[in-house]
Amino acid sequence: MPVKTARGSFAWAVIRGKFAPEIALRTDSPPAHVCPSIPCCILNAMLHLENVGMRYGMGREVLSDVTLTLAPGEFRFLTGPSGAGKTSLLKLLYLAERPSRGLMSMFGRDLALTPRQELPALRRRIGVVFQEFRLLDHLSAYENVALPLRIAGRKPAEYREDVEELLSWVGLGDRMQARPPTLSGGEKQRVAIARAVVAKPDLLLADEPTGSIDPDMGERLLRLFVELNRLGTTVLIATHDRHLVESLGVREWRLSGGSLHEVPQKGRS
């Protein structure tokens, strides 16, 4: 039986055992670093924020002077206590909110200079796992996962097999036609994760992606993120789960009171 060729998505690489079974980050990922003053670094960055502030309406600033650079292929955690601004920062990053001040660039483009009609194309390069899942209740699990591909103009015949395989891989092979109201919290979260990764985004942003999932499934999904990262996707995961952060040993940003700090890695000076 001939081996199927790669189709530009990660699922078959993961599902068909082409990934390392143990958790391992890609070795060729560039080191994380903050270099707000070097234009070429900013230009090549996946994401760059400089002195960004954000407030809702006329309220107080929920993010203050946030400066960060996320390099292509990087894997990062974003941690911090509840109310620190993690979700607000992620909203900025998946372009659901605009900064009140500061500079923000993404995929090498200054967002202040990017016309509105070009933003959807940027959003399609981002996979988002929303904290509250945000699945469409009238669509089945299959339809929810296929949504980013449908929006991208792909035909059902092109993605059917991939979506089915991905759903099977996250343990929902027998729940494809189930609608979200009939799914448990953990099942919804897995559908949300499958939807975020199905189009193999350049940037994956996940807000507490393993919060409602049992440890075994959490580890399985984390492996999915790692494999995705190994295949080139930049990953930023916001989480409270220290076990999750420490299991990978990757760099971490910590948000506190709206300010962002780099957390020194253990064993490194």
Partner 1 sequence: MKCRKRGAADMAARAPLLPDEHEGEWSLTGVIAVMCFLACLTLGIALAVSRASAVWSEGLSGTGTILVPADGLVSPEDGARAVADAVRRLPGIAEVRIVSRAESDDMLRPWLGNVSLDGLPLPVLVAVSFEGSARPANAEMEAIVAAASPGALWDDHGVWREDLQRLSAMLSAISLGVLVLIALAAVATIVFATRAGLESHREIVEVLHHIGARNQFIAHEFERRFLLLGLKAGALGLLLAVGVLLLFANTDMLASGGEFYLPRLSLAASDWPWLVAVPLATSLIATVTARLTVMRVIGRMP
| Length of the chain as a residue count | 269
Which residues partner with 76 through β-bridges? 236, 251
Using only C-alpha atoms, the chain has a radius of gyration, in whole angstroms, of: 18
User: Which residues neighbour 255 within 8 Å (Cβ) at sequence distance 6 or greater?
Assistant: 78, 79, 80, 84, 85, 86, 89, 261
Q: Which is nearer to partner 1, 112 or 152 (CB)?
A: 152
Minimum CB–partner distance for residue 145 and partner 1 (Å): 10
Minimum CB–partner distance for residue 34 and partner 1 (Å): 26
Q: Which is nearer to partner 1, 15 or 176 (CB)?
A: 176
Q: Which is nearer to partner 1, 120 or 249 (CB)?
A: 120
Minimum CB–partner distance for residue 31 and partner 1 (Å): 30
Q: Which is nearer to partner 1, 45 or 135 (CB)?
A: 135
Closest C-alpha among 29, 49, 68 to residue 263: 68
Question: Which residues of the shown chain bind partner 1 in the complex (CB under 8 A)?
Answer: 94-98, 116-117, 120-126, 128, 134, 136-140, 142-143, 146-148, 150-152, 156-157, 160, 163-164, 176-177, 195
In the sheet where 203-207 sits, what is the strand order?
126-129, 203-207, 234-238, 75-79, 251-256, 259-263
Minimum CB–partner distance for residue 267 and partner 1 (Å): 38
Minimum CB–partner distance for residue 184 and partner 1 (Å): 20
Closest C-alpha among 51, 26, 31 to residue 41: 31
Closest C-alpha among 68, 76, 72 to residue 30: 72
Q: Which is nearer to partner 1, 5 or 177 (CB)?
A: 177
Q: Which is nearer to partner 1, 93 or 245 (CB)?
A: 93
Minimum CB–partner distance for residue 174 and partner 1 (Å): 11
Minimum CB–partner distance for residue 197 and partner 1 (Å): 12
Q: Which is nearer to partner 1, 148 or 218 (CB)?
A: 148
